[in-house]
Structure 1
């Protein structure tokens, strides 16, 4: 199925696909709504998806498409999907099997037909998404650490609301706030996330199904104990100058949880979290950041994205959906 708002592009891509042996185009539509209607009536093996669509854009609609067609591979075709771009990473994080940049001048420019044909062959040779998702919990994160500053409280709400009730991975949160607001913010978080929230203290055990919030006067550090992992308060000045700082939390999470750690950075001024994100990625973990358009200030998430450390970039809702899938980004 081809999903593109340009009738000319749909026609060109259809000719390319029809020329591939054993493949045929069963539908070529111009919107996410039309694509969902097709998926409700017939099975689809491959979806070629544009981003700039009327109504719901391609990236926003991607999770709905994969929910209706869990075995279908999705290739996102867009001029903004150059290799390694934030848009390409975002598409992959949302469930796309691959991305390919469309030429700007003509649908057939730059040997596009040959590149698309080769990419279709590679993608269709991979294991279906549903088979990967049903595998053992090898891709589940053991810890989620969220850092935020200016605009972060606003972003936290849709992210936490997107988490399902059965997601019991422990969550650590460092939000730049004065200590006098810590108790009130903890109550807000408990309501939004529908789970208990503790304010971090020395030797507080990290437990599944619970959230831990950094106090206003100390950083959270994670330490290994004989009974799992626990928090330790650190009041030493951070390089970022922030109190509490995201970097110590990320650095210690990387040391204790390694590749099973997920770090999330939401809207905020400065570069706090960037050093810690580097440690998480070096340990094999995953880092997700809020996109520029939805951020009040794109300083903290932008520093990570521009450093090439972000595996996933999206709106708070999309980041919440990514966490809910418990799936590691490639």
Structure 2
């Protein structure tokens, strides 16, 4: 078994040792070296040719952001950033993802996290996932991949997942062009850039609201919403409990909270809660999709984009069982990690498989 070669970059000797101890416990990992700052990291990457790099954002000499830009330009490799949960740390993390980081880990308590063990499993999983990341796509913050629709039949070799998917074609499940619409998007690893591709192409007068679940810890989703809002015509915000949902607005589930929808008179409102994580996620795409599936007066557009795991596929089954739904999955060609879209396609309930640049166009076609 060929092991994943990992380089650890952190200005703290304690943190370097801690991360090394955690990752070394996994049989698939081989720690090939450590670096003290960004400058040292670039030199070590050139010498050691790692498969994955873990890198702190806040470092002397050359910080993680500057180093990341150099790495992706000179010696591209999947990088998992380690970030503090401060406002500045969250904003820098969103920038790091734009610059090409495969993923990030939020340190539980500042620069030197004595309690890093709290995110040990997450760190291991994200390094494993990064080793399979689509490096070609990580290098394209503004990709020029040809915008195409890919026939779902082209994915016929994807093994179907076993679900009770007897979807009756009752009048309620047939697409109604005149019915009110609700757009629901789920994504994980690589999601911030995928969301930027999609949301920045939506008009401010969009005749539907957009609900988004992006797997992120508390504190980071607000920075993501603010960044997308600054780049988009449509209004983007972090969702708040109890607020009435309006057309022409994108609501991003806050880290640490499930996003659900409830009827309030003739309107819809956001319901946030901290019920148990689903498949390790809170917010969970499945939870959002299941909640939306209970709405009877809306046609829904469900989008599943890049991400590790299968979150969203069970929720898609519920959506398709209980109403008119058009489902769009991101293609393997543009996904950073083709886990969540692949699982959705395997339900055999996806209507279109699209490169990320074409997803907004497809959404607008149905709205």
Does the pair score TM above 0.5? yes
Q: CA deviation at 1:141?
A: 5.6
- Identify the match of residue 288 of structure 1 among 308, 328, 344: 328
**Is 1:184 matched with 2:252?**
no
Task: Report the CA distance shift for 1:291/1:204 in structure 2 as closer, same or farther (over 3 A).
Answer: same
Contact residue 229 and residue 237 of structure 2 kept, 8 A: no
Structure 1: runs of 5+ lacking an equivalent: 1-55, 63-79, 89-136
What does residue 292 of structure 2 align with?
A: 253
Pairs within 5 Å for 1:1-330:
60=148, 85-86=153-154, 138-139=177-178, 142-257=181-296, 260-283=299-322, 284-326=324-366
For residues 47-97 of structure 1, the C-alpha deviation after alignment (integer angstroms, 9 at most, x for no partner) is xxxxxxxxx97x74x8xxxxxxxxxxxxxxxxx96xx60479xxxxxxxxx
Q: CA deviation at 1:259?
A: 5.8
Secondary structure of the residue aligned to 1:142 is: strand
Q: Pairwise CA RMSD of aligned residues?
A: 2.6
What is the alpha-carbon distance in structure 2 between the residues aligned to residue 140 and residue 263 of structure 1? 16
What is the alpha-carbon distance in structure 2 between the residues aligned to residue 192 and residue 147 of structure 1? 20
What is the alpha-carbon distance in structure 1 between the residues aligned to residue 352 and residue 340 of structure 2? 14
Secondary structure of the residue aligned to 2:262 is: strand
Q: CA deviation at 1:285?
A: 1.2
Q: CA deviation at 1:144?
A: 0.4
Task: Report the CA distance shift for 1:312/1:286 in structure 2 as closer, same or farther (over 3 A).
Answer: same
What is the alpha-carbon distance in structure 1 between the residues aligned to residue 333 and residue 178 of structure 2? 29
For residues 17-69 of structure 1, the C-alpha deviation after alignment (integer angstroms, 9 at most, x for no partner) is xxxxxxxxxxxxxxxxxxxxxxxxxxxxxxxxxxxxxxx97x74x8xxxxxxx
What is the alpha-carbon distance in structure 1 between the residues aligned to residue 230 and residue 366 of structure 2? 22
Contact residue 331 and residue 354 of structure 2 kept, 8 A: yes
Q: CA deviation at 1:191?
A: 2.4
Secondary structure of the residue aligned to 1:322 is: helix
Contact residue 235 and residue 250 of structure 2 kept, 8 A: yes
What is the alpha-carbon distance in structure 2 between the residues aligned to residue 202 and residue 317 of structure 1? 31
TM-score, normalising length: structure 2 = 0.51
What is the alpha-carbon distance in structure 2 between the residues aligned to residue 234 and residue 311 of structure 1? 31
